[in-house]
Structure 1
Amino acid sequence: MTNLESAPASSPTALMGVRLLGSGASVPDRILTNHDLSQMVDTTDEWIASRTGIHERHIADGEADSVANLAAKAGQQAIAAAGLTAQDIDLIILSTSTTDDLFGTAGRVQKIIGADGAVAFDLVAACSGFVFGMVTAAQYIRTGVYKNVLLIGADVLSRWVDWHDRRTCILFGDGAGAVVLQACSPEQNGLLGFELRSDGKGNDLLNVNYLGRSTFNPITMNGQEVYRFAVRRVPEVIEKALHYASLEVHDLDWLILHQANQRIIDAVVNRFGIDPAKAVSNMGKYGNTSAASIPIALNEWVQAGKIQPNHLVAIAGFGAGLSWGSAVFRWG
């Protein structure tokens, strides 16, 4: 039995289906360009763009750009796009590694959007957080516990960047993205397959470590090893998720990878031999926004009318932990 197979629809134990609908996104107004960075560290626009595909990123500027506020704005957009109100939301999952409060930020988001009847909690899986959150949300829906789940990926990584380290400060930006997952009949199920993986042996490749006395190190990363890990492991989980969905990669309308590096996207596209136009890329404008990168990209393509109802989409996240995963769904 695959990871999303259920009992026959006529069975009293049949699992509910899951629809994905309604997206939203929010980023800070402040933009930091590669030229701006060249005034801060020894780098150039050409050097950054040629190695990462990034030209600029949005950077939080004060309390207005807190994780909670960015997440709430994205969430409100997603709820409205889904044709719902905040009172319809049963569960809020906030995927973030940069919480405003070490006790959790999802409760603040719940308060801001007025989802008084929802349960709210944070989920930490770094740049894989949105994929892990989607699979987690689906389990609550498929077992009949909740009907409408707001899933948000939000990170303010600029808090943890060493702006004197040109290896890492060029990569990261801030923002939030959100979708609504909703219960439906098994016949209408849109979440078709997934695969999640973790490997703690690679935990030291990407960290924000606790130093004691309520302080943390800035982001440290072994970029070459993370790149090797991503180009080797990400195609595997995409293939597995497609297998569970009884689909082939060429059936996909869109592939949305975590927006970490254009070279990684290009390597995965080449591995599969698919049309590069199917691979969503917007990191040039936003940089690596961690758990927010996939939903920000998804929302941009939905708003542009590129992702249409019934389009088949595969997403894949990868990052610290090490963690990586993929999900395949039919939009709308």
Structure 2
Amino acid sequence: MRHAVIAATGLYTPPHTLTNAELVATFNAYVERFNARNAEAIAAGEIEALPPSSEPFIEKASGIKSRYVIDKSGLIDPDVMRPVIPERSNEEISVLAEIAVAAARQAIEAWGKPVSEIGAVICAASNMQRAYPAMAIEVQQALGIDGFAFDMNVACSSATFGIKTAADYIATGSAKAVLMVNPEITSGHLNFCDRDSHFIFGDVATAVIVEAEEDATPGQGWDIIGTRLKTVFSNNIRNNFGFLNRAAPEGASAKDKLFVQEGRKVFREVVPMVSEMIVDHASDLGLDPTALKRMWLHQANINMNDMIGRKVLGRDPSPEENVIILDEYANTSSAGSIIAFHKANDGFAAGEMGLICSFGAGYSAGTVFVRKR
């Protein structure tokens, strides 16, 4: 059985930054208009007045200070409150594929090998732009890659599930190298009129190249020591949009066609599940989890990441041990742990260990233990 190596990564960051201050100003303008428009019904107790948002509320709840977005114009307009992304013709590359290709090109350049070495492409993300043809096949075509390609969606855990799948293809000889991309335009499925979640997500794309150990450049990349996946059904994070309800009605009945969650329940249930999964997986691999040099966790919110870090390491982790990119990128779903890994994997000596970990809707969780080559 061939062992797999994470050989290179890439990152595409959109050009537009949206700060908490801008987001709050837009949301509060919407709230003022809503409450004024419904003043009589609010006074009669028929509906509840909407409360305003604030920068301190957002940062305390999430640790997020800013995010990158594909479109900013619609997100700072209280009459729109959604990204404005023009539909493209079938002859143009789709937006999701375009940002995936940008991240992939960076990874391929860092890898330093021709795309003819890649035998498979996996597009692993929370929300695909369309049902078919697969986004992965469009990315494959744009990059001139032979072989096969397919999409997969395990929400925020899509990247670790994708790495596991890529490593399995390497082990069985199905491909010499696999490109996995995680394009996330999560601003498109966020309800910017909801105070409890209007600040959560940002847009981004990441890419990971996994190849066989014997083909990897000596001293380059990370040996994949072990991968583990877990799913447990839960309705606490959900998005009901799909082709059976594409003509979703306006108003309250349409809210579940966007991202919805029971945040406190998610925290109480996911944190112990993920912490135990990490510790158990490390034990089965003969590793001491408290000796991990660095953790690149899914960037859900600062409180979840801090708690998981403490449970795994048995102490308060330092910023170098538990990488946080939430303040700049916000929650980017499947891409979050890969952004953290891409931006903060320096300072490792050969043989030192780290952990890429994801968790999210499903519930789903994935652990990928890596060792610097």
Q: Same fold, TM exceeding 0.5?
A: yes
Q: Is the 8 A contact 2:297 2:340 kept in 1?
A: no
Measured in 2, the distance between the counterparts of 1:40 and 1:183 equals 49
Q: Which residue of 2 aligns with 1:252?
A: 292
Q: CA deviation at 1:210?
A: 3.2
Residue 148 of structure 1 aligns with an amino acid whose one-letter code is A
Measured in 2, the distance between the counterparts of 1:221 and 1:215 equals 22
Task: Find out whether 1:176 has 2:205 as its counterpart.
Answer: yes
The structure that has the greater radius of gyration is 2
Q: Is the 8 A contact 2:120 2:179 kept in 1?
A: yes
Task: Find out whether 1:199 has 2:209 as its counterpart.
Answer: no
Q: Which residue of 2 aligns with 1:209?
A: 240
Residue 337 of structure 2 aligns with an amino acid whose one-letter code is I
Residue 316 of structure 1 aligns with an amino acid whose one-letter code is C
Structure 2 residue matching 1:141: 3-state secondary structure: helix
Q: Which residue of 1 aligns with 2:354?
A: 313
1:86 to 95, 108, 115: 115
Measured in 1, the distance between the counterparts of 2:143 and 2:182 equals 16
Q: CA deviation at 1:311?
A: 3.6
Q: Which residue of 2 aligns with 1:3?
A: none
Measured in 1, the distance between the counterparts of 2:213 and 2:176 equals 8
Q: CA deviation at 1:270?
A: 1.7
Measured in 2, the distance between the counterparts of 1:65 and 1:28 equals 15
- Could you list the runs of 5+ residues in structure 1 that have no partner in the other structure? 1-14
- Could you list the runs of 5+ residues in structure 2 that have no partner in the other structure? 28-51, 72-84, 87-92, 249-256
- What TM-score do you get using the length of structure 1 for normalisation? 0.88
Q: Which residue of 1 aligns with 2:46?
A: none
Q: Is the 8 A contact 1:21 1:331 kept in 2?
A: no
Q: Which residue of 2 aligns with 1:156?
A: 185
Structure 2 residue matching 1:127: 3-state secondary structure: coil
Q: Deviations over 1:49-79 (max 9, x none)?
A: 1221100011112469922111111111111
Measured in 2, the distance between the counterparts of 1:278 and 1:323 equals 23
1:101 to 111, 125, 130: 130
Q: Deviations over 1:264-294 (max 9, x none)?
A: 1111122132532301110100011001111
CA separation of 1:69 and 1:163: change in aligned 2, threshold 3 A: same
Q: Which residue of 2 aligns with 1:60?
A: 70
Q: Which residue of 1 aligns with 2:58?
A: 48
Structure 2 residue matching 1:51: 3-state secondary structure: helix
Measured in 1, the distance between the counterparts of 2:155 and 2:337 equals 12
Q: Percent identity?
A: 29
Residue 140 of structure 2 aligns with an amino acid whose one-letter code is Q
Q: CA deviation at 1:40?
A: 2.1
Q: CA deviation at 1:230?
A: 2.1
Q: How does 1:1-332 map to 2 (within 5 A)?
A: 15-41=1-27, 42-61=52-71, 62=85, 66-103=95-132, 104-115=134-145, 117-185=146-214, 190-200=223-233, 202=234, 204-210=235-241, 212-215=244-247, 217-271=257-311, 272-274=313-315, 275-276=317-318, 277-302=320-345, 305-306=346-347, 310-332=351-373
Q: Is the 8 A contact 1:74 1:177 kept in 2?
A: yes
CA separation of 1:123 and 1:113: change in aligned 2, threshold 3 A: same
CA separation of 1:57 and 1:306: change in aligned 2, threshold 3 A: farther
Q: CA deviation at 1:93?
A: 0.9
- What TM-score do you get using the length of structure 2 for normalisation? 0.79
Q: Is the 8 A contact 1:208 1:219 kept in 2?
A: yes
Q: CA deviation at 1:137?
A: 0.8
Q: Is the 8 A contact 2:241 2:258 kept in 1?
A: no
CA separation of 1:136 and 1:173: change in aligned 2, threshold 3 A: same
CA separation of 1:132 and 1:163: change in aligned 2, threshold 3 A: same
Measured in 1, the distance between the counterparts of 2:350 and 2:331 equals 27
Q: CA deviation at 1:215?
A: 4.2
Measured in 1, the distance between the counterparts of 2:126 and 2:117 equals 27
Measured in 2, the distance between the counterparts of 1:229 and 1:291 equals 19
Moved more, 206-215 or 218-227: 206-215
Measured in 1, the distance between the counterparts of 2:247 and 2:289 equals 44
Structure 1 residue matching 2:14: 3-state secondary structure: coil
Q: CA deviation at 1:309?
A: 5.5
The total of aligned residue pairs comes to 313
Q: CA deviation at 1:227?
A: 1.1
Residue 112 of structure 1 aligns with an amino acid whose one-letter code is A
Measured in 2, the distance between the counterparts of 1:266 and 1:71 equals 30
Residue 297 of structure 2 aligns with an amino acid whose one-letter code is L
Q: Is the 8 A contact 2:24 2:53 kept in 1?
A: yes
CA separation of 1:312 and 1:234: change in aligned 2, threshold 3 A: same
